[in-house]
Amino acid sequence: TAVLTIFWAVIFSGIAGYTPSVTRSAVMIVLLQLAPLLDRERDAATSLGFALMCLLAANPFSAAHIGLQLSFAAVAGILLTGDKLQGWLSHALRLDTRPRNRLDRLWRRAPRFVVSTLASTLGASVLTTPLVAYYFHSFSLISPLANLLTLWAVGFLLLGGLLAGVLAWLCLPLAQLLAIPLSWLARYMLWAVDWLSRPTLAALSMESVLYRAWVAFLYLLPLAAVLI
């Protein structure tokens, strides 16, 4: 399975065009899958640093690429705070206690998915928020809800689309049959994106100097606490 995962990661990177964010993901996946094959421990932070080294060695100017900065900042934020946030939320909701039976274990899957998605979203936002505010002059307030409603669908669409593409090459009627539920899932994604973009405060504009000062103040508070 590790060899197959490495193979598909390389193939998908070629299909996606080897953008900095895709290359970062591919390098991390390859290293994490090579670890058990070479009897080594997995370390996400080392994989992230090695991916950045490879990209900068190939093209030092890629450091100015917005996609590279956002991709690495998001993953670094998740590695720094994601597990702590997930542990805190799980403890607050008492999801970290031992399940009493199989029904209790099944009942906790939905809350655990919500907690995991929320922790990842907040963790990724820790370091990407200043970059988004600087480059796009806005700050998304609805992104946690958007990820909860759409993140699961993206995975099904990606895997289902790949499977439908292979089936279309082997047996077109089967691919057309599989495309029916995928098309409804795609319609749901379009509806969710349209619905989530309608609220007035879905995104907060950073055009005002006061808003930028507010964001800077929020990030200076924990830095001041550490230094003091």
Q: How confident is the model at residue 103 (pLDDT cuts 50, 70, 90)?
A: low
Q: Which residue stretches of 39-171 are H helix?
A: 44-58, 66-77, 83-92, 102-107, 109-136, 143-170
pTM: 0.77
DSSP assignment of 167-221 equals HHHH-HHHHHHHHHHHHHHHHHHHHHHHHHT-STTSEEE--SHHHHHHHHHHHHH
- Per-residue pLDDT at 144: 82
Give the model confidence (pLDDT) of 154-164 as tens digits.
888 988 988 89
| pLDDT for residue 183 is more than 90 | yes
Please report which confidence band the pLDDT of residue 191 belongs to, taking 50, 70 and 90 as the band edges. Answer: very high
* Model confidence band, residue 226 (pLDDT cutoffs 50, 70, 90): low
192: pLDDT strictly greater than 70 = yes
78 or 97: which carries more pLDDT confidence? 78
Per-residue tokens: 66: 């917005």
64: DSSP letter: G
Query: Using one digit for the tens of pLDDT, what is the confidence trace for 63-74?
Result: 888 889 999 999
Q: Which helix (H) or strand (E) holds 139?
A: strand 138-140
